[in-house]
Amino acid sequence: MVAGGLVLGTIGIFVEEARQDPMTTVFFRCFFGMLALSLWGAATGRLHELKLRWQELTVALGAGVLIVLNWVLFFAAIPRVSIAIATVLFHIQPFFVIGLGAWWLGERVSKAQVIACVVALAGLVLATGLIGSKTSLIATSSYQTGVALCLVGAVAYAGLPFIARKAKRVSSFALSWWQSAVGVLLTAWWPLWHGLPQTTTAWLWLAGLGSIHSGIAYVVLYAGMSQLRTSRVALLQFVYPLTAIVVDRVVYGHQLTALQTVGVLIMAGALWTVRRDSKRVCKMPPGAQASTSA
């Protein structure tokens, strides 16, 4: 799951360089992701895994709807509330994951896990530069809409670990493929109506976004989600924003302030603690094992 978060942390580069609107970006992310997964499945003889029973298919389709909703809402919220605020609001979702895990699955949540989650979120707030910013936030209708979009997106993403647990008989490869297929069906109308990308560069970045971030990353991510307790999943999901902040600094030269550096270190410390305490052996579904090793 850490590997998936590290890969997802580079999404910003591909989205930034592709220079497309959110819906077009989501469509091509799903399209190229499905294409890459299909080719990989054919090469490894795993296409038969895409044939699911009805109950398993509904779980896979549900995961697809949630992740596409999450992507569209997050991209739509950014211009309304800024990247920093959208990132902070979006990553409230670990609290939803822990709460739902305790309420729905009856999982025990220790004080240490709650504290680690709060510490990681505090580190994220510092790392985004929200604290100490001179920008005044006006509670306009656009801003309020952006906040609502982030919160709904956070709830949608929080549902993914539970779906992954329900789909233990579905390989992470199949779950990722069906997720991409749902995304293609839900968003295909947008680029057909508004037009396709006009430059070769845009097509290349979108192809990379789909094949890497909707292909490889989600196969690995779902394999991890299916074998971990939801409280641990909630904490490890901070790997994504932590990586994104570091990548933004390295690739685009955005200098971190002292507070941002402290935030990154706090997040890294919380995540390291979780990794250190996660040495227990978990029994994985055969499909998930194959996907992780691929």
Residues 153-174 have pLDDT tens digits of 888 888 877 776 776 778 878 8
Instruction: Round the average pLDDT of the chain to a whole number and report it.
Output: 77
In terms of average pLDDT, the best of 13-27, 142-156, 258-272 is 13-27
Residue for token pair 């709807």: 65
Q: Where residue 60 falls among pLDDT bands split at 50, 70, 90?
A: confident
Query: What's the half-sphere exposure (Cβ side, CA atoms, 13 Å) at 240?
Result: 22
pTM assigned to the model: 0.72
Tell me the residue type at 275: R
By the 10 Å C-beta count (0-12 exposed, 13-18 middle, 19+ buried), 187 is classed as buried
Domain residue spans of the chain = 2-276
DSSP class of residue 30?
H
What pLDDT, on the 0 to 100 scale, is given for residue 170? 82
Coil/strand/helix, residue 135: coil
Residues 75-105 have pLDDT tens digits of 788 778 766 667 767 777 767 777 777 777 7
Q: What is the C-alpha to C-alpha distance for residues 259 and 127, in angstroms, rounded to an integer?
A: 7
Q: Where residue 230 falls among pLDDT bands split at 50, 70, 90?
A: low
Tell me the residue type at 278: S
Short-list 102, 86, 66, 61, CA closest to 143 = 86
